[in-house]
A = this chain, B = another copy of it.
Amino acid sequence: MPITEFDLINRFFKQKFPTRRDVVLGIGDDAALCTAPAGMQLVMAIDTLVEGVHFPVNTKPEDIAYKALAVNLSDLAAMGATPAWMTLALTCPKVDEAWLARFSQGLLELATAAEISLIGGDTTRGSLTVTIQVTGFVELALLRSAAQVGDAIYVTGTLGDAGLGLAAIEKRITLAPEMQNYAESRLNKPTARISEGKKLTSIANAAIDVSDGLLADLNHILTASKVGASLNVESLPLSKALQSINRETALKLALTAGDDYELCFTMPANKKPPIAATRIGTIEQQLGLRCLDKDGKIFISKISGYQHFS
């Protein structure tokens, strides 16, 4: 007898996930019921991963699930929000119980770490597509639109690693095994900077997560804030793996490769960030984004970030 949609949901997604006291009714009715905390704003984001577009074919099911949640949590992190609830829309070509068990395990791992409840979902048949919607809370959100002239620009962690991992998987770049493992893990299991985002709400003026590449994402801050910036490419934080390859390629990855999910934020230059982060530039009145080398010369005038559909 074939497994039904309802068995699927019960078997793989109803059990084990964190339960929160603000979830009145989770999976199992027409919709979920939750109570929002007084005095907080709700923060909502939705992101889809498509096989072959957002992750390579043959990516481990647990990594697909982990990443699908991580990219959404990263959007909450960029607003300084605390995650609370998620809904999952999973489209897959067939019922593969071993695959589903691993998928739900990957989702559970990150959901438990992030203390986020799975409150609802839909499972459908089709090409492998994973959509997660997350809701969180924040008292005062970090926006893209509030960067101030004179602000220092920072990023968390290191940039370009996910792009390096993809290049290694696609055999465009050859890496030492331990470097390849590191870069692939940055691609497949990105870290959403939730705790960092929360600490930034009291001091940062603007923030975004680096999903499409630093230049593209920083440009969103500049456009929304109606300011410009200069970046010092020598100061870009590069991992050992990225330092192990040709420097020009490394800088191009750090500037334009997506999928790192680090936070890029701006804050008053005379203050110290409350989290580990690297200063990479300055917000300026002159519109546009100028990438300068160590001598202050223009390194590149424009490199496009990753664009779906382009």
Query: Which residues of A come within 8 Å of B, CB atoms?
Result: 2-6, 8, 24-25, 28-36, 38, 41-54, 74-76, 78-79, 81, 85, 87-89, 91, 94-95, 119-127, 129, 131, 133, 135-136, 138, 141, 143-145, 207-209, 224, 307-310
CB <8 Å contact, B48 and A42: no
Docked Cα-Cα span, A227 to B41, in Å, equals: 41
Question: A85 to nearest B CB, angstroms?
Answer: 7
CB <8 Å contact, A91 and B129: yes
With A35-B42, A42-B36, A85-B44 known to touch, is A50 a contact of B126 (CB < 8 Å)? yes
Question: A7 to nearest B CB, angstroms?
Answer: 9
Chain B's closest residue to A138 (CB) is B33
CB <8 Å contact, B54 and A143: no
CB <8 Å contact, B5 and A81: no
With A45-B32, A131-B131 known to touch, is A309 a contact of B91 (CB < 8 Å)? no
CB <8 Å contact, A45 and B30: yes
Docked Cα-Cα span, A20 to B35, in Å, equals: 20
Chain B's closest residue to A28 (CB) is B224
CB <8 Å contact, B308 and A123: yes
CB <8 Å contact, B46 and A122: yes
Residues on B with C-beta less than 8 A from A47 are 89, 122
From B30, B129, B308, give the contact of A144 (CB < 8 A). B30
CB <8 Å contact, A41 and B35: yes
Chain B's closest residue to A207 (CB) is B30
CB <8 Å contact, A5 and B131: no
Give the residue among A51, A85, A87, A88 with the most B Cβ atoms within 10 A: A87
Chosen A-B contacts, 30 in total, with CB atoms closer than 8 Å, are A2-B309, A4-B309, A4-B310, A5-B307, A5-B309, A5-B310, A6-B307, A25-B143, A28-B144, A29-B143, A30-B74, A30-B76, A30-B207, A30-B209, A31-B81, A32-B43, A36-B42, A44-B85, A44-B87, A48-B89, A48-B122, A49-B124, A50-B91, A51-B126, A53-B125, A89-B133, A94-B309, A125-B308, A125-B309, A133-B133
Chain B's closest residue to A47 (CB) is B122
CB <8 Å contact, B141 and A33: yes
Chain B's closest residue to A7 (CB) is B309
Please provide the 10 A-B residue pairs with the shortest distance between their CB atoms, ordered closest to farther.
A50-B126, A31-B45, A30-B78, A36-B36, A46-B87, A127-B127, A133-B133, A89-B131, A30-B75, A131-B131
Question: A168 to nearest B CB, angstroms?
Answer: 23
Chain B's closest residue to A92 (CB) is B309
Residues on B with C-beta less than 8 A from A95 are 309
Residues on B with C-beta less than 8 A from A31 are 43-45, 75-76, 78-79, 81, 136, 141
